[in-house]
Structure 1
Amino acid sequence: MSQADARLSVLKTYKLYVGGKFPRSESGRVYEVTAAKSAGGAAGRGRWLANAPRASRKDARDAVAAARKAVAGWSGATAYNRGQVLYRVAEMLQGRREQYTAEVADAEGLSKAKSAAQVDAAIDRWVWYAGWTDKVAQVAGAGNPVAGPYFNLSAPEPTGVVAVVAPQESALLGLVSVLAPVIATGNAAVVVAAEERPLPALSLAEVLATSDVPGGVVNVLSGRTAEIAPTLAAHQDVNAIDLTGADAELARELEVAAADNLKRVLRPSADPGGTDWTADPGTGRLTAFLETKTVWHPTGSLGVAGSAY
């Protein structure tokens, strides 16, 4: 046996991502993640990939606390700065393209070529949302005509802490498509990764941690969706929830829990065929978690310097 054959593989240890750090689950629990049934043909079917941390309700509460702490600084940053930060994430995703191609292939049972196309689309999607950070105010804001000597201006503001139930069927492109617009508009996110395909999401956390995204702006939890999501839906310090990755029964349960503190809710797609994540995303998700602030200001010269302009 050669020395190379005698080496033990250095297996990757996946962890949660909370507050810019990588803790193990508070409960110490893990669960097995295996390759998709079509990955690698018959030889690769059901192949063990890793033990992913199984987040507890305590982990979910810790993630919300971290997100709340990060909201003020992130929402207070200039839109241009947020765009630069998001673009840096895309740069780093591009640098790890081969890693993500392999992870998506295992997670979704795709060929290398199809997996690479998914990764490229995810990178492009991140760049697309990075470009929207300093433009969404022009789309969602307005100067409103009023009957009186006033300026009446409406401007978008972030909702706050947004819980995101990531798509179950699209481990990277779908995840990026729901996460990027949340943080592009100044919100902080707590993400529940796809239950059976969490590894691309947990690896994305490594990119976020080594880019310029402040700790707590994005928090990533893996585990049983039906265990973690209800805690987030009922949490009084979560302002909104995206139910994209919840099935119909769980979505109804989460929506009822979210009503307790009047959370803004984005319902899952009603299309039985699922969401086409490769389609043009439009601006719907950019405006889904924005509030509108309207300001009145008198026109004319009222003794206030510059009040007419």
Structure 2
Amino acid sequence: MSDRLSVLKTYKLYVGGKFPRSESGRVYEVTDSKGNWLANAPLSSRKDARDAVVAARKAFGGWSGATAYNRGQILYRVAEMLEGRREQFAAEVAEAEGLSKAKAAAQVDAAIDRWVWYAGWSDKVAQIAGAANPVAGPYFNLSSPEPTGVVAVLAPQESSFLGLVSVIAPAIVTGNTVVVVTSEKAPLPALSLGEVLATSDLPGGVVNILSGRVNELGGPLAAHQDVNAIDLAGAAADAELVKALETAAADNLKRVLRPRAVDWTADPGTERMLAFLETKTVWHPMGV
């Protein structure tokens, strides 16, 4: 018997709960740390970025209106689905980042645990971000957190999976929807994550995943008038790009989370959840 031909995986974008190819039809070669070819990834265009923003805005009302408990359940379901594909993701991370199998598996385990960690925060973050404010009068004055809206996320370049999860999960657990630009050199774990999200009860459009050039996609997302905030984690190595994106984001007063050195394996804390929340303050007369 002759050997079977390999059936190579065709990676696609994840936009609006579907798996389209880039509208431009472009792809680029993805290689491992030794320069060996792994696959072709879609090379997203500005049109893909605009389509992703439309999908994210369409999903925002339903996702932000869901109960915090329900959002936590869905994030926990993502962790369950990842647990079942742990070996696949460990292999992809090992190839993408040139890690040993043990170190790659440890990163995947940490990413699964991070979904669980943020799921637990879903119905608790309001307790630390909200307040009953003291006022000099017969009123209740209550502050409560609300999601900012559509968040553009430039995923970390050096941590293709754990870093990716660490910037997506805190943004969506509080009710935001996101458009994610993957690690440019190692997009495959992120594109595979789209398959998990599609089967984990997460509504289509809540997370939209684009692979391609950060300097090509970052600008249109930073300047987009229907994007409410941007996380610049993936542009940390290019100070000029960061400055240009901050300038573009200022046009519609986007919230900007500036890049800095981060140990993605450390306790993430609450900063990334709180970064994309607005505070609504309500006055209410006592006794009414």
Please, which runs of 5 or more residues in structure 1 have no aligned partner?
37-44, 301-306
Equivalent residue in structure 2 for 1:183, among 172, 182, 186: 172
Shift in Å at residue 248 of structure 1? 1.7
What is the alpha-carbon root mean square deviation over aligned residues?
Answer: 0.6
Q: Extract structure 1 runs of 4+ deviating beyond 6 A.
A: none
Match of 1:286 in 2: 273
Letter of the structure 2 residue corresponding to residue 67 of structure 1: A
Aligned mates of 1:266, 1:275 — CA distance in 2: 13
Q: Which position in structure 2 is the counterpart of 1:216?
A: 205
1:245 match: secondary structure: helix
Provide TM-score, normalisation by structure 2.
0.98
| Residue number in structure 1 paired with 2:243 | 252
What residue ranges of structure 2 are gaps of 5+ in the alignment?
none
TM-score by length of 1: 0.92
Paired residues in the alignment total 286
Q: Which residue is 2:94 aligned to?
A: 105
2:239, 2:75 → 1: CA distance? 32
Show the counterpart of 2:9: 12
Paired residue secondary structure (2:201): coil
Question: Map of 1:128-143 to 2, 5 A cutoff?
Answer: 128-143=117-132
Q: Which residue of 2 aligns with 1:266?
A: 257
Question: Is structure 2 residue 184 aligned with structure 1 residue 195?
Answer: yes
Pairing 1:34-53 to 2, within 5 Å after superposition: 34-36=31-33, 45-53=34-42
Q: Equivalent residue for 2:136?
A: 147
Q: Tell me which residue corresponds to 1:30.
A: 27
CA-CA distance at 1:46 after TM superposition: 1.2
For 2:63 and 2:7, the matched residues in 1 are separated by 36
2:265 maps to a residue whose letter is T
Residue 249 of structure 1 deviates from its aligned partner by: 1.6
Give the 3-state SS of the residue equivalent to 1:294 in structure 2: strand
| CA offset digits 1:270-308 (Å, max 9, x no partner) | xxxx311011111101100000000000002xxxxxx3x
- CA deviation profile, 1:131-167 (whole Å, cap 9, x unmatched): 0000000010000000000000000000000000000
Is 2:280 the counterpart of 1:298?
no
